């Protein structure tokens, strides 16, 4: 019975924490790009709720942000606090990458957890975690007129979410407790993301990638004479 209570309560707390951190990230993006009041609140809501809404739609569920009375107030409240605290809130701009990494990790955990609860396999559950972790940031970038950060070039982003989501699924499948899975996943996602930011780790640009070609073989010519074909080796 205690395990069942933990299973129900902990994801809810994580989900609301992810909403709050995601809303902070969205508001900071809006403040950095000089958006107005509506834009700041809008990006806060998108950053806080976007990943969860996409996650629930992928799981063929009604978005919990619409059915619960907790999610939207948390996102709106966080956006209002960030707006009222301006310009003090802009001092958090240096921590934008930190909030981004934490939100990435939290959404990946909740997304993978809910996908497992819905009966999805390990690979599919990890994929849902990646989508849930990155969808909010993609919406914020698109609505503010920017190219989605996940598509780079730049420090690895989607790979960090994938690693953290996969780590949670593996720990969960091994039968470890939920807190251990959360801790391992957060360390992997946040650590990898911040390491990529500070060390400049990134995936190569597609146009700069060269696929090695196999060694050339001796060319053979096919000469057609009448109805038959004969192969003529090259002259030496």
The pLDDT tens digits of the residues spanning 140-161 come to 999 988 888 888 777 888 899 9
| pLDDT tens profile 61-97 | 999 899 988 899 999 999 999 888 877 665 666 677 8
- What pLDDT shows up at residue 4? 36
Cis peptide before 87 (omega within 30 of 0): yes
The radius of gyration computed from the CA coordinates of the chain, to the nearest angstrom, equals: 24
- What pLDDT shows up at residue 217? 52
Burial of 72 (0-12, 13-18, 19+ CB in 10 A): middle
Strand partners, 222: 231
- What pLDDT shows up at residue 76? 94
pTM, full prediction = 0.77
- In the predicted model, residues of the chain with pLDDT beneath 70 are 1-11, 88-94, 207-236
- What pLDDT shows up at residue 11? 57
């Amino acid at each position: 019975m205690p395990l069942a209570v933990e299973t129900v309560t902990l994801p809810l707390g994580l989900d609301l924490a992810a909403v709050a951190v995601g809303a902070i990230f969205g508001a900071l993006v809006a403040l950095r790009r000089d958006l107005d009041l509506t834009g700041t609140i809008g990006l806060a809501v998108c950053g806080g709720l976007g990943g969860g809404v996409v996650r629930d739609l992928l799981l063929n569920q009604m978005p919990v942000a619409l059915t619960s009375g907790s999610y939207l107030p948390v996102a709106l409240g966080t956006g209002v606090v960030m707006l009222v605290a301006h310009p003090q809130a802009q001092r958090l701009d240096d921590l934008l990458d930190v909030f981004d990494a934490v939100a990435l990790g939290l959404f990946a955990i909740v997304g993978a957890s809910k996908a497992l609860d819905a009966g999805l396999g390990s690979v599919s559950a990890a994929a849902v975690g990646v989508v849930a972790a990155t969808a909010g940031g993609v919406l914020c970038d698109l609505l503010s007129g920017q190219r989605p950060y996940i598509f780079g070039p730049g420090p690895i982003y989607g790979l960090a979410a994938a690693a953290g989501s996969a780590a949670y699924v593996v720990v969960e499948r091994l039968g470890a407790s939920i807190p251990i899975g959360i801790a391992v996943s957060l360390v992997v996602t946040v650590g990898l993301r911040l390491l990529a930011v500070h060390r400049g780790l990134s995936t190569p640009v597609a146009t700069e990638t060269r696929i090695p070609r196999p060694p050339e073989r001796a060319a053979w010519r096919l000469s057609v004479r009448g109805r038959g074909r004969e192969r003529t080796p090259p002259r030496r």
